[in-house]
């Protein structure tokens, strides 16, 4: 909905910019054109009976007012920064989204074969939507590691934190190239000193 708000705002601003530019640069022709258009519109509306014009005008005004009020509400509404704990007994508990993301990232990065992890969380009406991007070592078994990551994420979110998932966790795996891991450094041979008198 934020995208729709931005599109409408951009269109309205473009219209205002165009009208202001025309009126300020060529005020007389622009105002004459507006006056002529308004006069023609008024004469056209005069031919419509008032008992038809009034309800149509009221309905159009109501629809436009509702749409504009909805857009203003959606634009001014503060985004959710916290998620409610579903399994909290005796009261209402909310967790900060950043804390949830940090905990999930920490737990996933602790899994064997995981090099890095980024989490994307969004609060929805039915719960929390989660997507994780994970980078693994080259020799990982993708099906097994994917199942391990998804189960670990579900356990952390639902069991440890008591949150409700809006839908199953989505995971994107990236297998790191072998050269990124790096091979063990080559150890130079160890030279042992010969005991005294061995060369005689």
- Cα–Cα–Cα angle for 183, 185, 189, nearest 5°? 135
In this prediction, residues 121-128 reach a mean pLDDT of 81
Residue 192 lies inside a defined structural domain of this protein: no
Tens of pLDDT, residue by residue over 39-54, are 888 888 888 888 888 8
**117 and 39 in a common domain:** no
Please give the tally of structural domains in the chain. Answer: 2
CA distances from 140 to 3, 150, 171, 190 (A): 39, 15, 15, 35
Instruction: Report yes or no: 96 and 116 within 8 Å, Cβ to Cβ.
Output: no
Q: Whole-prediction pTM value?
A: 0.50
Quote the CA–CA distance of 101 and 69 in Å, as a whole number: 34
Task: Quote the domain boundaries for residue 62.
Answer: 2-76
Model confidence at 88, in pLDDT bands (50, 70, 90)?
A: low
Quote the CA–CA distance of 139 and 89 in Å, as a whole number: 44
The radius of gyration of the chain from alpha carbons, rounded to an integer in Å, stands at 33
3-state secondary structure at position 98: helix
Tens of pLDDT, residue by residue over 5-61, are 678 878 888 888 988 888 889 888 888 888 998 888 888 888 888 888 888 889 988
Residue 191 lies inside a defined structural domain of this protein: no
pLDDT at 200: 46
Residue 189 lies inside a defined structural domain of this protein: no
**63 and 133 in a common domain:** no
Q: Which residue has the higher pLDDT, 76 or 109?
A: 109
Residue 96 lies inside a defined structural domain of this protein: yes
Quote the CA–CA distance of 33 and 22 in Å, as a whole number: 11
In this prediction, residues 98-110 reach a mean pLDDT of 90
Assign residue 112 the CATH number of its domain. Answer: 3.30.300.30
**72 and 86 in a common domain:** no
In this prediction, residues 114-141 reach a mean pLDDT of 88
Instruction: Report yes or no: 80 and 123 within 8 Å, Cβ to Cβ.
Output: yes
Instruction: Report yes or no: 157 and 130 within 8 Å, Cβ to Cβ.
Output: yes
In this prediction, residues 116-128 reach a mean pLDDT of 85
**101 and 55 in a common domain:** no
pLDDT at 41: 86
Quote the CA–CA distance of 166 and 80 in Å, as a whole number: 15
Quote the CA–CA distance of 125 and 107 in Å, as a whole number: 26
Residue 23 lies inside a defined structural domain of this protein: yes
pLDDT at 7: 80
Instruction: Report yes or no: 5 and 74 within 8 Å, Cβ to Cβ.
Output: yes
Give, for 86, the enclosing helix (H) or strand (E). none
pLDDT at 185: 43
Domain final residue pick, 59, 76, 93: 76
Predicted confidence (pLDDT) at residue 105 exceeds the cutoff of 90? yes
Tens of pLDDT, residue by residue over 130-188, are 999 999 998 888 899 999 999 999 999 888 888 888 889 999 999 988 766 654 444 44
**50 and 131 in a common domain:** no
In this prediction, residues 116-142 reach a mean pLDDT of 87
């Amino acid at each position: 909905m934020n995208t729709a708000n931005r599109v409408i705002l951009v269109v309205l601003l473009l219209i205002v910019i165009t009208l202001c530019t025309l009126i300020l640069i060529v005020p007389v022709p622009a105002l004459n054109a507006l006056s002529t258009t308004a006069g023609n519109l008024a004469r056209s509306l005069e031919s419509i009976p008032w008992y038809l014009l009034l309800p149509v005008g009221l309905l159009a005004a109501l629809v436009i007012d509702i749409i504009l009020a909805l857009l203003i509400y959606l634009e001014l509404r503060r985004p959710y920064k916290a998620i409610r704990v579903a399994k909290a007994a005796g009261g209402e508990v909310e967790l900060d989204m950043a804390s949830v993301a940090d905990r999930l990232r920490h737990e996933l990065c602790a899994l064997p074969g995981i090099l890095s992890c980024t989490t994307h969380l969004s609060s929805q009406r039915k719960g929390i939507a989660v997507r994780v991007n994970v980078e693994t070592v080259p020799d990982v078994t993708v099906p097994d590691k994917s199942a391990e990551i998804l189960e670990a994420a579900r356990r952390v979110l639902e069991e440890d934190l008591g949150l409700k998932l809006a839908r199953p966790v989505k995971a994107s795996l990236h297998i790191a190239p072998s050269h990124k891991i790096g091979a063990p450094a080559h150890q130079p041979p160890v030279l042992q000193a010969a005991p005294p008198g061995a060369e005689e």
